[in-house]
Amino acid sequence: MPFKGRASVFFFKKKKKSEPARVRPAAPGTTQKRSAFRMPVEFDVYYTLEGRRGRRSAKANDLSAGGLRLSVDEDFFKESVLLLEFKLPDEFLAAMVVEKEVYEQSPFGLRPETVKVQPPAFSPMKMHAKVLANFFNIEHRKFAHGMSFIDIDTHTEEELQRFIHLWQLNYLRTRRGDLD
């Protein structure tokens, strides 16, 4: 059937090649807001708002060595300071074994030996945190507050990092089936 009228035919026209996506470096002077990896984990927290009497309960639903997200029934102003008390979940440690290097005295001096041990449980923690951001979680009908730990001692920070490391290790092993 013959072609009537004007029609555009692009059978032989070359398409323009799309440019590859480029990763743009961060602009000079910009800083990351988070200084540590956040781990999705849920556990109970007790808190006391500075300047108010009474301890209340909440849930933490993610954690880093620098802070956590707290899910509560009440809203706080930014910069509010809370005293947090919690114990990190450690039930998963019962099925976990990690390698540890120990040194044994021999006639030839100290010799390293690798042994498999169960990691020790976590002690209860008590620290202050400041509200950095807040929003209302419609799904859970709770206020969520991004908190930053303040005046945290080195031992507590190391314990938080140890927890995050072991939690990740446990997740990877159970996902692959290493512990089954």
Helix/strand/coil for 63: strand
> Where in 33-156 does DSSP place strands (E)?
43-49, 56-63, 67-72, 81-86, 98-106, 109-117, 125-137, 142-150
Whether pLDDT at 44 is above 90: yes
Confidence of residue 174 (pLDDT cuts 50, 70, 90): confident
What value does the mean pLDDT take over residues 126-155?
Answer: 92
Q: pLDDT value at position 120? A: 93
Whether pLDDT at 37 is above 90: no
Which token pair is 12? 């032989």
Characterize 112-131 residue by residue with b for buried, 16 or more Cβ atoms within 10 angstroms of its Cβ, and e for exposed: eeeeeeebeebeebebbbbb
Q: pLDDT value at position 25? A: 41
pLDDT averaged over every residue in the chain: 82
Q: Which residues pair with 145 in a beta bridge?
A: 70, 134
Residue 37, Cβ neighbours under 10 Å: how many? 13
| Topology of the domain comprising 43-90+124-174 | Thrombin, subunit H (2.40.10)
Whether pLDDT at 24 is above 60: no
Dihedral angle, C-alpha 89, 90, 96, 98, nearest 10 °: 100
How do the domains of the chain map onto residue ranges?
A: 43-90+124-174
What value does the mean pLDDT take over residues 98-110?
Answer: 89
Length of the chain counted residue by residue: 180
Residue 149, Cβ neighbours under 10 Å: how many? 20
Whether pLDDT at 158 is above 60: yes
Question: What are the start-end ranges of the H helices in the chain?
Answer: 154-176
Confidence of residue 19 (pLDDT cuts 50, 70, 90): very low
Integer Cα distance of 49 and 76 in angstroms: 9
Which token pair is 45? 């927290």
Q: pLDDT value at position 139? A: 86
